[in-house]
Structure 1
């Protein structure tokens, strides 16, 4: 038995290979003229949904991104990877869009799209919040499985068996559907979007809406005071003996 639909999050972030620069006024980081791409954890979520569809465990994959017009680029990538259609929630002040606001948007889209499963990356590499999936589960009162290492759908289509990455190793849990699942790094290896699939993606539907049209208040709850780069690491030193090392750890570093 297959699931009807999965809703998958695709956040647009500064590419992981870009060196982040803080704005001169310390109000945030420089984003103008900087390469952006899909959040790597969300790529895993898209890949897993597409694999479920290819395995006849899922009928439709709907990808969602909240942000400025540039967010459509990551949606096109997801469509080229194999998603069926996309929803762009247009919002220009993406730096003020907090996890709770995103969770509220997804909760509203869940009401409209009635998916059996929501797949999200466990965190975004820009804010590292790791909150949206958990908040969405709470808002929907759905089961949740975070840090997914492996996902299996039961034959009756009523529950998932999820292997989770935890500090002590791996944990296996069963969750009833519908459910919210967040993906971890070793879940799969995302595919590259091929040129033929990129061309096909242009014909796939992409709906654009706004938080206002969805009736969702995404006003920020937090105030950003200042952004600063981490202090530069000081140069290390060489010691001549173990006794000298212990002395410096004890009397200078004061960690012993």
Structure 2
């Protein structure tokens, strides 16, 4: 991925990591088309920078993904990067069946969302000489948190998709980069005031720096996520899972 001059479609760009990355990319010289459901917030963010555009999209809805993706491709034919950011994280108590609605919503947004997005963009981006697909998994894809089993599973799925898509796309101009965040202080669980989570600005600083320093990277791993990412290799996965379970 180039360090500037990209045109990036970023669904899930109205809050948290998505908004922060959109603003960082715009500040460094990229053009960013953010997507989200809240029109007032979309308008507010777009007005903050002449390098940010906004479209309304619901990444839990297949028709919205298909239609809005086609609109962005028509309005911004120079788009050469897709960052599939949108996601939800909900606690679940699987000792009873009441968790099912949250689990289904999580799968729809976190796993079907990126799959549907790439299906809507595959023909467009593979026709480019150079393009980038950025996925977003989590440290919990590798060392799960007991409180959020379906979230963990969907992020494991995103990691597997990233690896498999990278292999299939090797003969094209599409680079696949997986962001692997730790817990970050955003509105996503555990929340903006969690002292154990990484401050948002620190995460954004380190992530953008790594993207620029490692333009051919497969995974972007900030220092705070390394233990989660490599716990199985390092032999402390069970211990770390117990620590995570006890902290919530």
Larger Rg: 1
TM-score range, shorter chain: 0.3 to 0.5
TM-score by length of 2: 0.40
Higher strand share: 1
TM-score by length of 1: 0.39
Higher helix share: 2
